[in-house]
Structure 1
Amino acid sequence: MGAGLGRTLSVGLRGVAGFVVDVEAHVTTGLPGFAISGLGDSAVKQSSDRIKAAAALIEKMAVSQRRVTVNLSPAGERKVGTGFDLGIFVAVAAAMDLLPARVVRDVVHIGEVGLDGTVRPVPGVLPLVHAAALAGVRHAVVPVANAGEARLVSGVQVHPVAEVTELVRRYGNLGKGRPVQEVPVPFVAALEPEPVRDLSEVVGQAEAKLALEIAAAGGHHLLLAGPPGAGKTMLAERLPGLLPSLDEGESMEVTAIHSVLGALGSGGDARLITHPPFVAPHHGASQAAVIGGGSGRIRPGAITQAHRGVLFLDETPEFDKGVLQALRTPLERGAVSIARAQESVTFPARFQLVLAANPCPCGKAWGKGLDCTCTPLMRRAYFGKLSGPLLDRVDLQVHVQPPRLTMAGAAPGESTAVVAARVAAARTAQGDRWRDVLERSRGVNADVPGSELRAGPWKLPAASTGTLDRLLEVGALSLRGYDRTLRCAWTVADLLGLQRPGREEVDVALSLRHRSGVAA
């Protein structure tokens, strides 16, 4: 048995994007030991114990009697998780001449190695294999349970593996020119997507339904305020059904995020997520759970899980004020950066925000409010968490009235399919109009810079913006609110099939921005 240097490839994860790691192993005689360098976390450092136990199952792989040094390059890049186990094992085996060095050098290995030699699944395999493909790697060895999502990446041949003993045997046959039989991937039926909840099931709520349609068509944020049982949650849950399906690039982004979170399941039938996600965290969720973070590994939060979809905050005033204030930057940037002493990670977070709130803590301060038991101070503190800067970023703010008895027997309203068709037509018009401005064909009105709407060919005449101009002049409307109202007006015009909004469309957008029933 020889001793020397072995090399192979693995992939690390930075946020939801991967980077290729060169795994180098040097094995020599001397005082026994197993050292791993390369800025790995505790899980990486503990890899030596798992590999020594698994190596004992391989004939002539007496790792515990050798001095082993492993380096994960780039050594200055932080590496987390157990996914490097398989790469380290292969590099050590290659250094001991148990595997053909020329074969394993250009193959990516991902997976956790158990004490019994099994290769166990790890989260984030989809973005890891995707990063390898972008780096020009053409072969990837992954755990059997991760093979389904790994095969969603084109341009890479995925080789599932169940045990390290079987992997050594397959590499040995390959080095001798013998045929190699791949491990079959067990079929596991993918979870069926949740059925689309139809908009026709919502009784009444004409104004709220209009706001929901405008929000879907233009990508606008929405606040629904009203008493308990008025239908705020029902309306929010029907927004994803009005949105168009994700394109190929968006599907890969969203599926990669869910892969990092370990939410894709396992088996050989993993599929790309093609529908906008709907995420509704509990109002007791911490800032790390909503925004992202964690004490050890930095994990994406609910706003990243809702990327390209809808984030619904029910009982919004019950959320911690710090959580609500932390939403302001992601709403503007479409991304969130989590900074720690040793690293800073940026997660995508381009979502539509839907807020829902009761009129007061007891929920009875609607109409004349005779049954309300809340003091003015309680109401003020309740809505004090919804600060002006946060609400200023919410384009549509409507009051949801409880349905009356006369509405219970009324004919159902428009279905989700009918409204979604209008939304799709409006989005097509926006994509054509803003293609040069936004440099992408799926741009929506909510993404258009305010400077484009206030000057140049898209500036509306003073006759159309007179009311907006007066409110801005007297300080009743911020410049951000001015721009957001203009964007909503363009969306109203798109839904009506107009070339550009007039005074009526601007006034409709402004009326849907009021805070009736929101302020204490």
Structure 2
Amino acid sequence: MSLAVLKSRALSGMDAPEVTVEVHLANGLPSFTIVGLPEAEVKEAKDRVRAALQNSRFEFPNRRITVNLAPADLPKESGRFDLPIALGILAASEQIPADTLNHYEFAGELSLSGELRPIRGALAMTFAMCNDGAAKNVAKKIAFILPRANADEAALVEQAHIYPADSLLQVAAHFAAHSAEARLTRHTPSPQIRRPHYSDFSEVKGQLLAKRALEVAACGLHSVLLIGPPGTGKSMLASRFSGILPSMNDIEALEAAAVQSLTQGFSLAQWKVRPFRSPHHTASAVALVGGGGTPRPGEISLAHRGVLFLDELPEFDRRVLEVLREPLESGRITISRAARQADFPARFQLIAAMNPCPCGYLGHVNGKCHCSPDVVARYQGKISGPLLDRIDMQIQVGSLPHADLIKQADGEASEQIQARVERAFDLQLARQGKANNMLNTVEIEQFCDPDAEGKQLLHNAMNRLNWSARSYHRVLKVARSIADLEQIEQIQRAHIAEAISYRRALKEK
């Protein structure tokens, strides 16, 4: 047999389209050609595969070798095709049987010694394999053979049959074996079911109003801007915010893990731990939203189902901040390049922090601000109105008197706050099937209808503060979350009043 056909997967954003690896051996001058729009890493597979086969004591065919990666118009990158190419050569040269290769998909990078190295995107590839099988109504599950280092993350998809291997020789023995002992065994993950560890809210002294606001934000998954002088605890509050969010369900955990697998990989220690990303204010727009010649997820996608914390918000380049406007509304980001387009999820919760002025001491109890009104206005004006309009809550975090700073922190623990948040969040899911922050205009009218006094207060505030329709709807959604925390079905005047207090615009001196 001079032709072997195997299955693998490419990566295109969060998608992992199927790739057919065709290996043909022909007579003629010895050569090794890879076609099918391979990028540099795939072209280099020729040398890796040759050395791996020889060092694994296989015979490298002294013939004309042609490898076709189909479909031809899909770009192929990284070393994940090393393993299927090597197996295809062995099958085409009849060094291993080829009759059962179509029952598997393969991915793995080879070292020169034949060892298998981990690849990027194993979980996304496994997702796609199972989804394609379901779409085609395939009764028999196709197994996935890949490096052992990727087995835990790939096996989180329960429908998949994952067979990890350490080397090319081990995979070849699986197909050539005459005994069960030589075959690869199916891998099942064993994630330790335990409460994820986060820093605790009880460690933050004072700031009861800010803690209350963050509890409301966690309940409805609302975005927050913390405004206050330096040293008031804004970063401490933000870093502990993940600990009061509702626990991740299996679908959310798999979504977050799949995004993580596209970059540095995913470990079971991160299972059901909400991502917390805190990029430096010098980060570029591409670092934030993703991109590159081969598009990869940025910080907003790596924070999917978790928290994106932007400290020192006005210090970010304004053009960088503007890229957040669409993802905050849609929960997705589409990266378009001349040759390709990639779509990534970006359902993150934005927590931003900033000082009220350049020196930071505007409103500080013990400090004197020396910034003029023009300087303050120019500093606060670095945040555009459209972006500020999309942030649900703007919270003043005041400075603490010295007497409070020397006291022992004795606030509520994160576990107690999260218990209330969980009850309110379950109420939202039972009522509307989603978090309050994700309600559309029609659903807002249906589920966020306040009483008569609340309506009057809201209309007066809208006219006096010149709110946009977006601001009006966001105040209603925050009020809905406040009512849910109190387990009250009808939004009342007090809930509207508290939601309005969380919508304070930045003020000058």
Decide: shared fold, TM above 0.5.
yes
In the alignment, the residues of structure 1 paired with residue 457 and residue 190 of structure 2 have an alpha-carbon distance, to the nearest angstrom, of 59
Q: Which residue identity lines up with residue 275 of structure 2 in the other structure?
A: P
Match of 1:449 among 416, 440, 451: 440
Is the CA contact (8 Å cut-off) linking 2:245 and 2:418 kept in structure 1? yes
* Offset from partner CA, 1:208-253 (integer Å, 9 cap, x none): 1111010001111101000110010111112111112111111111
- TM-score normalised over the length of structure 1: 0.90
Q: 1:89 to 1:377 in 2, by over 3 A?
A: farther
In the alignment, the residues of structure 1 paired with residue 88 and residue 384 of structure 2 have an alpha-carbon distance, to the nearest angstrom, of 55
**Secondary structure of 2:68 counterpart:** strand
Report the alpha carbon displacement of residue 415 of structure 1 after superposing the two structures with TM: 1.9
Is the CA contact (8 Å cut-off) linking 2:202 and 2:409 kept in structure 1? no
- Which shifted more, 87-96 or 378-387? 378-387
Is the CA contact (8 Å cut-off) linking 2:55 and 2:112 kept in structure 1? no
Q: 1:330 to 1:406 in 2, by over 3 A?
A: same
Is the CA contact (8 Å cut-off) linking 1:90 and 1:104 kept in structure 2? no
Q: Which residue identity lines up with residue 251 of structure 2 in the other structure?
A: G
Match of 1:195 among 176, 194, 197: 197
Report the alpha carbon displacement of residue 157 of structure 1 after superposing the two structures with TM: 2.8
After superposition, residues 266-345 of structure 1 pair within 5 angstroms as: 270=268, 273-294=271-292, 296-345=293-342
Report the alpha carbon displacement of residue 376 of structure 1 after superposing the two structures with TM: 4.2
Report the alpha carbon displacement of residue 369 of structure 1 after superposing the two structures with TM: 9.2
**Secondary structure of 1:322 counterpart:** helix
> 1:74 — aligned with what?
71
Is the CA contact (8 Å cut-off) linking 1:396 and 1:513 kept in structure 2? yes
After superposition, residues 132-143 of structure 1 pair within 5 angstroms as: 132-136=129-133, 137-143=141-147
- Which shifted more, 458-467 or 135-144? 458-467
In the alignment, the residues of structure 2 paired with residue 433 and residue 183 of structure 1 have an alpha-carbon distance, to the nearest angstrom, of 45
Q: 1:411 to 1:8 in 2, by over 3 A?
A: closer
- Which shifted more, 160-169 or 350-359? 160-169
Report the alpha carbon displacement of residue 20 of structure 1 after superposing the two structures with TM: 2.0
> 2:17 — aligned with what?
19
After superposition, residues 466-505 of structure 1 pair within 5 angstroms as: 466-473=456-463, 476-505=466-495
Q: 1:216 to 1:368 in 2, by over 3 A?
A: closer
Report the alpha carbon displacement of residue 367 of structure 1 after superposing the two structures with TM: 4.2
Q: 1:370 to 1:138 in 2, by over 3 A?
A: closer
> 1:364 — aligned with what?
361
In the alignment, the residues of structure 2 paired with residue 77 and residue 290 of structure 1 have an alpha-carbon distance, to the nearest angstrom, of 26
> 1:28 — aligned with what?
26
In the alignment, the residues of structure 2 paired with residue 444 and residue 387 of structure 1 have an alpha-carbon distance, to the nearest angstrom, of 26
Report the alpha carbon displacement of residue 117 of structure 1 after superposing the two structures with TM: 1.7
* Offset from partner CA, 1:50-77 (integer Å, 9 cap, x none): 11222333556334x3211111222222
Match of 2:160 among 142, 156, 159: 156
In the alignment, the residues of structure 2 paired with residue 199 and residue 290 of structure 1 have an alpha-carbon distance, to the nearest angstrom, of 28
Is the CA contact (8 Å cut-off) linking 1:39 and 1:79 kept in structure 2? yes
Q: Which residue identity lines up with residue 339 of structure 2 in the other structure?
A: Q
> 2:421 — aligned with what?
423
**Secondary structure of 1:101 counterpart:** coil
**Secondary structure of 1:307 counterpart:** coil
Q: Which runs of 5+ in 1 are unaligned?
A: 436-442
Q: Which residue identity lines up with residue 442 of structure 2 in the other structure?
A: S
Q: 1:169 to 1:451 in 2, by over 3 A?
A: closer
**Secondary structure of 1:13 counterpart:** coil
Q: 1:35 to 1:183 in 2, by over 3 A?
A: same
**Runs of 4+ in structure 1 displaced over 4 angstroms?**
176-179, 187-194, 367-370
Is the CA contact (8 Å cut-off) linking 1:398 and 1:515 kept in structure 2? no
Q: Which residue identity lines up with residue 154 of structure 2 in the other structure?
A: A
Does residue 169 of structure 1 match 2:173?
yes
> 2:391 — aligned with what?
394
**Secondary structure of 1:17 counterpart:** coil
Report the alpha carbon displacement of residue 200 of structure 1 after superposing the two structures with TM: 1.9
> 1:240 — aligned with what?
242
Is the CA contact (8 Å cut-off) linking 1:291 and 1:323 kept in structure 2? no
Q: Which residue identity lines up with residue 299 of structure 1 in the other structure?
A: R
- Which shifted more, 115-124 or 247-256? 115-124
Report the alpha carbon displacement of residue 36 of structure 1 after superposing the two structures with TM: 1.6
**Secondary structure of 1:160 counterpart:** strand
- Which shifted more, 150-159 or 384-393? 150-159
> 2:149 — aligned with what?
145
Q: 1:424 to 1:324 in 2, by over 3 A?
A: same
In the alignment, the residues of structure 2 paired with residue 230 and residue 401 of structure 1 have an alpha-carbon distance, to the nearest angstrom, of 7
**Secondary structure of 2:69 counterpart:** strand
Is the CA contact (8 Å cut-off) linking 2:450 and 2:493 kept in structure 1? no
In the alignment, the residues of structure 2 paired with residue 162 and residue 411 of structure 1 have an alpha-carbon distance, to the nearest angstrom, of 51
In the alignment, the residues of structure 2 paired with residue 182 and residue 400 of structure 1 have an alpha-carbon distance, to the nearest angstrom, of 58
Q: Which residue identity lines up with residue 256 of structure 1 in the other structure?
A: A
> 1:515 — aligned with what?
505
Aligned pair count reads: 500
> 2:110 — aligned with what?
113
In the alignment, the residues of structure 1 paired with residue 193 and residue 416 of structure 2 have an alpha-carbon distance, to the nearest angstrom, of 27
Q: Which residue identity lines up with residue 222 of structure 1 in the other structure?
A: V
> 1:348 — aligned with what?
345
Is the CA contact (8 Å cut-off) linking 1:112 and 1:122 kept in structure 2? yes
Is the CA contact (8 Å cut-off) linking 1:33 and 1:67 kept in structure 2? yes
Report the alpha carbon displacement of residue 386 of structure 1 after superposing the two structures with TM: 1.0
Q: 1:483 to 1:170 in 2, by over 3 A?
A: same
Report the alpha carbon displacement of residue 400 of structure 1 after superposing the two structures with TM: 0.6
- TM-score normalised over the length of structure 2: 0.91
> 1:126 — aligned with what?
123
> 1:260 — aligned with what?
262
**Secondary structure of 2:144 counterpart:** strand
Q: 1:363 to 1:178 in 2, by over 3 A?
A: closer
Report the alpha carbon displacement of residue 493 of structure 1 after superposing the two structures with TM: 0.8
Report the alpha carbon displacement of residue 152 of structure 1 after superposing the two structures with TM: 2.1
**Secondary structure of 2:182 counterpart:** coil
Report the alpha carbon displacement of residue 416 of structure 1 after superposing the two structures with TM: 1.4
Q: 1:272 to 1:239 in 2, by over 3 A?
A: closer
Is the CA contact (8 Å cut-off) linking 2:10 and 2:76 kept in structure 1? yes
- Percent of pairs with identical residues: 38
In the alignment, the residues of structure 2 paired with residue 207 and residue 406 of structure 1 have an alpha-carbon distance, to the nearest angstrom, of 18
Is the CA contact (8 Å cut-off) linking 2:196 and 2:273 kept in structure 1? no
* Offset from partner CA, 1:375-432 (integer Å, 9 cap, x none): 4444333222211111101111011111113324377122212211111111111111
**Secondary structure of 1:56 counterpart:** helix
Report the alpha carbon displacement of residue 276 of structure 1 after superposing the two structures with TM: 1.7
Q: 1:95 to 1:486 in 2, by over 3 A?
A: same
**Secondary structure of 1:240 counterpart:** helix
> 2:100 — aligned with what?
103
In the alignment, the residues of structure 2 paired with residue 35 and residue 316 of structure 1 have an alpha-carbon distance, to the nearest angstrom, of 51
Q: Which runs of 5+ in 2 are unaligned?
A: 134-140
Is the CA contact (8 Å cut-off) linking 2:56 and 2:114 kept in structure 1? no
Is the CA contact (8 Å cut-off) linking 1:452 and 1:459 kept in structure 2? no
Report the alpha carbon displacement of residue 373 of structure 1 after superposing the two structures with TM: 4.0
**Secondary structure of 1:44 counterpart:** helix
